[in-house]
A and B are shown apart, each in its own frame.
Chain A
Amino acid sequence: MTASPHADHLAQLNVATLRHPLDDPRMAPFVEMLDPVNAAADAAPGFVWRLVEEGTADATGLRPAGEDVIVNLTVWETQEALWDFTYRSGHLEVMRRRREWFERHVEAHLVLWWIPAGHLPTVGEALERLADLRAHGPSPRAFTFTSSYTAVEAARHLRAAPPARPEQAARSARPASATDPAAV
């Protein structure tokens, strides 16, 4: 990663509930795509960082949101860079076949938020943003591609309003096997 001219970076979390364990033959096409798609992310314009489990190439072994829930936590220079990677690269093929491999989420499964450049979001912080989005809908604190906010709007919002209280965020969370109360 080289020095970025952007003062703010965009963080992205998405969660996906596996329909079968990763070593199940039905998941093999997904598992085969992990390495090439992650390599494409690392080389994509505007890519800054992605969460990986120590000693492995990805974060699929980390299960902070439940035993059968994989998480994908990344940081990008701009929303356009993230959009282009998500939907206009080899990653789109994974998205197209998502119903074969992942349960359909009734609640939001993807959340975006702005962070200061140089900050690396923690899993706990990311799950809090997802809980915020699920509890309060899109806001400059936690939003989606279709209801997005600029970094300037987010900064203005944070000065004007204190962040949502955690108990509000937790209230609408579904009970799940997660250890983190904000995770669902």
Chain B
Amino acid sequence: MEDIDAIAALQDPVRRRLYEYVVAQGREVGRNEAAEAAGVARTLAAHHLDRLTEVGLLESGSRRLTGRSGPGAGRPAKVYTRARAERAVSLPVRDYRTAAELLAEAAEEAGLDAGLYAAARRRGESLRGSAAPPGGLEEAMEVLAARGYEPHLEGAEGTEGAKGAEEATDAAPCVVRMRNCPFHAVAERFPPLVCGMNLALLEGLLGTDGPVRARMEARPGECCVVVETSKNNRD
């Protein structure tokens, strides 16, 4: 399937709503749930979801949505998630991916990490312009969403988070995580270099002395950075 066909499949507004709903969940989504979210009948949703799978924008599988297994757990339902492949179209054809990879390879070989981070931080600052750093996590999420990071709020994990929650009674101990890395393909090939660049860009964009701060906390399948309320802001 050509990239341009895949992108053309999103022209249909119902299909686009379904696609955007599925990718925003960050997990497998069933037909009923997607239909309800898009406000269409189940059969129509099924048709569009299968079309999105056909063009390679979604992947489908089957799973028992009840969470149970064995006899009596019910029939497996069809579920959908975002396909891992990425699609890009530029007319006329331009190949910035190869340019980015070659530049990253040369920067890696020459050990230019510090220079790249400095440039990224400056770029982040200039993207923010004269605006003040985001005043809170909600505002930071808007800034991040506008740059394609797909941010979502997440409670602090594990027992350490629970301990922190007892101390900070005024606010829920939340961090912003991001489902999408805008630099994914290059970041996979040159992780420390490009992830460091990404962190520096976000530090410039969000500020380092303001109410929120970016910190590296990598985990599989997501952007390597989390955004949290600055500790010094609590005082």
Q: Which residues of A pack against B, CB within 8 Å?
A: 84, 86-93, 95-96, 98-99, 104, 146
Contacts and interface: CB of A to CB of B under 8 A. Distances in A.
A88 B219 contact: yes
B134 to A, nearest CB: 23
Contact of A96 (B199, B219, B220): B199
B113 A92 contact: no
A141 to B, nearest CB: 23
B196 A96 contact: yes
B114 interface: yes
A147 to B, nearest CB: 12
A92 B216 contact: yes
Given A92-B224, A96-B199, A104-B111, A87 B191 contact: yes
Given A88-B224, A104-B111, A96 B217 contact: no
Interface of B: 111, 113-114, 189, 191-192, 195-196, 199, 216-221, 224
A95 B191 contact: yes
A99 B111 contact: yes
Given A99-B111, A99-B114, A89 B191 contact: no
Nearest to B117: A96
Which of A89, A92, A146 has most chain B Cβ within 10 Å? A92
A90 B218 CA distance: 6
Contacts of A98: 113, 192
Nearest to B224: A92
Contact of B220 (A84, A99, A104): A84
Nearest to B193: A96
B191 A93 contact: no
A146 B109 CA distance: 14
9 contacts: A87-B192, A88-B218, A90-B217, A92-B191, A92-B195, A92-B218, A95-B192, A96-B196, A98-B192
Given A89-B219, A90-B217, A96 B111 contact: no
Contacts of A84: 220
A104 B109 CA distance: 9
A93 B216 contact: yes
Contacts of B192: 87, 92, 95-96, 98
Nearest to B198: A96
A99 B193 CA distance: 10
A125 B97 CA distance: 38
Contacts of B218: 87-93
Contacts of B219: 88-89
A127 B219 CA distance: 30
| A-B interface, 8 closest residue pairs, ranked by CB to CB distance from nearest | A95-B192, A87-B191, A104-B111, A92-B218, A96-B196, A88-B220, A88-B218, A84-B220
B221 to A, nearest CB: 8
B156 to A, nearest CB: 15
Contacts of B195: 87, 92, 96
B114 A96 contact: no
B216 A99 contact: no
A104 B108 CA distance: 10
B189 A96 contact: no
Contacts of A146: 189
Contacts of B220: 84, 88
Which of A89, A90, A96, A104 has most chain B Cβ within 10 Å? A96
Given A92-B192, A95-B191, A96-B113, 6 more contacts: A86-B191, A87-B218, A88-B221, A92-B191, A98-B192, A146-B189
